[in-house]
């Protein structure tokens, strides 16, 4: 399937892009965010939250693994960083199958629990302020959303 790219030059631009993405998301959508430490995964999630009209501050949930926020849809923010090398299932299916939108940072550490259909987003650091955002939809459902956003 085609991949889609968007380049940003500041954290604000990354947030604004994620905010636009939020407008095409619907209940049950799952987004995985990959990228090195500092690439912008949490910044991206903040933008998504803004787009879903969540007013609470979104922070990295590193120490809690899952945080839940209420907006137009519930937002489940998972940070799997601390699950590296573990096969612990903390009840992921309930989030993925729920009425909310799930965002997963470090999704590669919980690969075995991810639903087959999800929108994979890679954040690549180009320079201090530049990021390449690469969207890889793996089903028509997400491909349509990418196309709506980027063409
Ligand atoms: P991660 O969750 O991937 O570890 P964070 O979102 O916590 O990353 O941190 C990203 C850092 O990079 C922040 O300090 C942010 O201000 C900075 N930054 C600089 N340029 C950008 C950009 N274009 N997009 C996102 N973040 C950026
Ligand atoms: Mg983070």
- Provide the whole-model pTM: 0.96
Domain boundaries 4-150, corresponding CATH code: 3.40.50.300
Does the beta carbon of 77 lie inside 6 Å of ligand 1?
no
Domain locations in the chain as residue ranges: 4-150
Question: Which tens digit of pLDDT belongs to each residue from 51-76?
Answer: 999 999 998 766 789 999 999 999 99
ipTM score: 0.99
* Residues with Cβ within 8 Å of residue 34, at least 6 apart in sequence: 41, 106, 107, 108, 120, 121, 122, 123
Does the beta carbon of 53 lie inside 6 Å of ligand 1?
no
Backbone region of residue 87 per phi and psi (left: phi > 0; alpha: psi in -120 to 50; beta: other values) = alpha
Does the beta carbon of 45 lie inside 6 Å of ligand 1?
no
CA 96–ligand 1 middle distance (angstroms): 26
CA 41–ligand 2 middle distance (angstroms): 5
């Amino acid at each position: 399937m085609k991949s889609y790219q968007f380049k940003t030059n500041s954290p604000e631009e990354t947030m604004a892009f994620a905010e636009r993405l939020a407008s095409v998301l619907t209940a049950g959508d799952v987004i995985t965010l990959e990228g090195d430490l500092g690439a912008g995964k949490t910044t991206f999630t903040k933008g998504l939250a803004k787009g879903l009209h969540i007013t609470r501050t979104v922070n990295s949930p590193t120490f809690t693994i899952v945080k839940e926020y209420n907006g137009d849809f519930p937002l489940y923010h998972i940070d799997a960083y601390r699950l590296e090398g573990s096969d612990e299932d903390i009840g992921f299916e309930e989030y993925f199958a729920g009425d909310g939108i799930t965002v997963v940072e470090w999704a590669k550490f919980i690969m075995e629990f991810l639903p087959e259909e999800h929108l994979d987003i890679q954040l690549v650091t180009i320079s201090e302020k530049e990021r390449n955002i690469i969207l890889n939809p793996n089903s028509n459902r997400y491909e349509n959303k990418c196309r709506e956003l980027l063409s």
